[in-house]
Structure 1
Amino acid sequence: MKKTFTLLLLMAVMMTANQLKAQDLVKGKLDFLKDVTELGVSFDYNKLTVGTEGKEANYLKRKKAERDAKEPGTGDKWIESWFADRKQHYEPKFSELFTKYGDIKLTEDSASKYLMVVRTKFIEVGYNVAVSSQKAAVNLEIEIFDRDNLKKSICKIMMNDMKGGKGQFDMGLRIADAYAKAGKELGQLVSKKVK
């Protein structure tokens, strides 16, 4: 009986530790950012997977076919919207919350010494219908480079299962909430590590 209780307690502690480790500094340190006020930022979606579909191309093909089956010609418009949401919603939300909590401004136009590359590895789009909902979530890989050496990153951070809030009916805004959560948590991590 005592062994069973100890085993259950150990499993609970391990599960809690895994849940708390949503972001993980897997390479390097962040102390080099101590006096940095601005970081260049670049977003990369090249190896994105979506939900249970696997490759992004599979997801887009299915969604286009579904839209065109309901109303011919709307599939292409939906795909345009899917890509437009990145610049209109995801990236600004991530940057806004990172800047707010990390006290370092992110900008794509920066000529700063360092460049942050945000790679989206996975998106769960979630859903919101009148009686049921599921939060959107993203997995991100973040690397920071010295612009003088873009082949080798200074640090690498993995951010997994960054979930947005509930209540968004629009898919782009739902996913943007997940990016906002990631930006906030990364900003807080940077702020904590550079102090």
Structure 2
Amino acid sequence: MKKLLSFVLAMTMTVAAMAQKVKIQSGDLKFLKGEETVNVIFDYSDMKLLKENYTEEQYIPKRLEELNKKVEGSGDIWKKQWERSKEELWNPKFITIFNKTLEKEGIKMKLKENVQTRYTLKVNVKWIYPGWDAGIMKQAAKVNTQLVFVETATNKVVCDIDSQEAPGDQWGSNFNNETRIGEGFAKTGKTLAQKIEKEVK
């Protein structure tokens, strides 16, 4: 009975964490019809972390010390993983899942970094909650972003989208914070692609 109750609680927490909210603040996505490539830029400069809204400069030394107190050297290993996560995990997850989602729907548009295109997508990362996993009980990561499409030449905003609490989780256990966060970026990319598909197909 206790195991069943724990399972139900875990599932309830997972479902509750999946309530992503996406809202177009201005403009629409119809301008993307016929576009084959869109440049994408990721901006972490205003990112906050956890419920305390730590800056990255506050979060890293705090987490580093916390982990090193538990197991000597583990914080130093984590710091290296964290510093690589943006370029090697989070950004690629967003781009890859976005592109695969549109390809599946027969839409040829793709996101690419460092290309000269008519439009640019700015992924402004606003807030991250890493979540946690204790085996039976867990809570998904959450990722908040502002997704802004601009005309590359003029920087004029053509569409501004607010994405709140994109859930980052996988079936089974996932004890790595950075991987869970990466799933939140994947979910954000997929949801954006689905919105585009509805307006341009």
TM-score of the superposition, structure 1-length normalised?
A: 0.83
Q: Are residues 1:39 and 2:38 paired?
A: yes
Q: What residue number does 2:167 align with? A: 163
Q: Which runs of 5+ in 2 are unaligned?
A: 1-17
Q: Aligned AA for 2:146?
A: E
Identity %: 30
> Could you tell me how far 1:30 is from its partner in structure 2?
1.0
1:131 and 1:107, CA in 2 relative to 1: closer, same or farther beyond 3 A?
A: same
CA distance in 2, matches of 1:113, 1:149: 10
Q: What residue number does 1:119 align with? A: 124
Alignment of 1:1-195 (within 5 A): 22-54=21-53, 55-102=55-102, 103=107, 104-150=109-155, 152-166=156-170, 167-195=173-201
> Could you tell me how far 1:73 is from its partner in structure 2?
4.6
CA distance in 2, matches of 1:35, 1:61: 46
- Listed one character per residue, the Cα deviations across residues 112-150 of structure 1 (whole Å, up to 9, x for unaligned) are 111111011011100112231110110010111111112
Aligned Cα root-mean-square deviation (Å): 1.8
TM-score of the superposition, structure 2-length normalised?
A: 0.81
CA distance in 2, matches of 1:81, 1:21: 27
1:61 and 1:21, CA in 2 relative to 1: closer, same or farther beyond 3 A?
A: closer
- Listed one character per residue, the Cα deviations across residues 65-108 of structure 1 (whole Å, up to 9, x for unaligned) are 11232345543432221121111111111111111223321111
Structure index of larger Rg: 1
> Could you tell me how far 1:58 is from its partner in structure 2?
2.2
Q: Which runs of 5+ in 1 are unaligned?
A: 1-18
Is the 2:131–2:180 contact (alpha carbons within 8 Å) kept by the matching residues of 1?
yes
What is the number of equivalent residue pairs in this alignment? 176
> Could you tell me how far 1:185 is from its partner in structure 2?
0.4
Moved more, 42-51 or 57-66: 57-66
CA distance in 1, matches of 2:39, 2:114: 7
CA distance in 2, matches of 1:139, 1:21: 9
